[in-house]
Amino acid sequence: MGRTIGEFGTYGQDSGVWAKGILMDDYGFEPERNRWLIGGLEHPSAPFGFIPHPHPDNVEVADAPEGRTLSDMLDTGEIDALFSANVPQCMLEGSANVARLFPEFESLERDYHRRTGIFPIMHTIVARRDLLRERAGLASDVYRTFCAAKDAAAERCRHNRRLYQVQTMVPWMNALVERNNEQFAEDWWPYGISANRATLETYLRYHYEQGLSSRLWKLEEIFAPELLVT
């Protein structure tokens, strides 16, 4: 606690909500007891200009210094930690100043998935409510299109399994896939409300607990009615 933590783009971007929420649930992390700097990971940039930036009044959030990157500030010790879905360049380059918070991250993440059934998800497709009212079935059409695209990609991956290492240049890729097959169902990334209800409800809870939502939203309030049966 009492640390300065960097976060890419905005306080409360989706991967940050997940990271904070899991740390809150499992380790008693308190975001409000730290100072947050928002900026660019590898290139200096101001916080995202295309979205609002809500955060609780009791959380200190500031812009990173002009001309500085979060990766460099982490390497020099100007920030104590970084919440990012992307690996910072200083770590990729093997900086002796930077390490993962949890060196045994794979075993911990697999345990979290086994305990909760959650593999954190990010991003969503949105549409104007008036457009959905005017075009009946639009949400279902979009949903089916994305399902088809995902299924095509998964089938291509399964078909090319004999060439995994050629495609990825990752040794023992087949062993990793087999290990994942033991833990995940056949469809690693299922779409639809039913398969993701626990994950979505957990995210909404995290969003509310972190002061990013004014109230705890229900899935029925934010998804098109025709998708609630998926």
pLDDT in tens, 149-172: 999 998 888 887 777 777 788 888
Residues 123, 125, 126, CA angle at the centre, nearest 5°? 120
Band of residue 217 on the pLDDT scale cut at 50, 70, 90: very high
pLDDT of residue 144 exceeding 90: yes
Note the pLDDT of residue 133: 93
Burial of 64 by CB count in 10 Å (0-12 exposed, 13-18 middle, 19+ buried)? buried
For range 215-225, the mean pLDDT: 95
Note the pLDDT of residue 26: 96
- pLDDT tens track for 23-53: 999 999 999 999 999 999 999 998 888 888 8
For range 171-184, the mean pLDDT: 89
Band of residue 128 on the pLDDT scale cut at 50, 70, 90: very high
Work out the number of other CB atoms within 10 angstroms of the CB of residue 30.
Answer: 12
Note the pLDDT of residue 185: 82
For range 138-147, the mean pLDDT: 96
pLDDT of residue 21 exceeding 90: yes
Burial of 224 by CB count in 10 Å (0-12 exposed, 13-18 middle, 19+ buried)? middle
In angstroms, the first-to-last Cα distance of the chain is 41
Note the pLDDT of residue 4: 98
Residue burial 89-123, b: 16+ Cβ < 10 Å; e: rest: bbbeeeeeebeeeeeeeeeeeeebeeeeebebeee
pTM of the model as a whole: 0.92
Distance CA 45, CA 73 (A): 14
Distance CA 2, CA 207 (A): 22
Note the pLDDT of residue 171: 86
pLDDT of residue 15 exceeding 90: yes
38 DSSP assignment: E
Note the pLDDT of residue 157: 83
Strands 60-63, 81-83: pairing kind:
unpaired
2 vs 28, 35, 80, 108, 180, CA distance in Å? Answer: 14, 7, 10, 25, 37
- pLDDT tens track for 56-104: 999 999 999 999 999 999 999 999 999 998 999 999 999 999 999 999 9
- pLDDT tens track for 95-104: 999 999 999 9
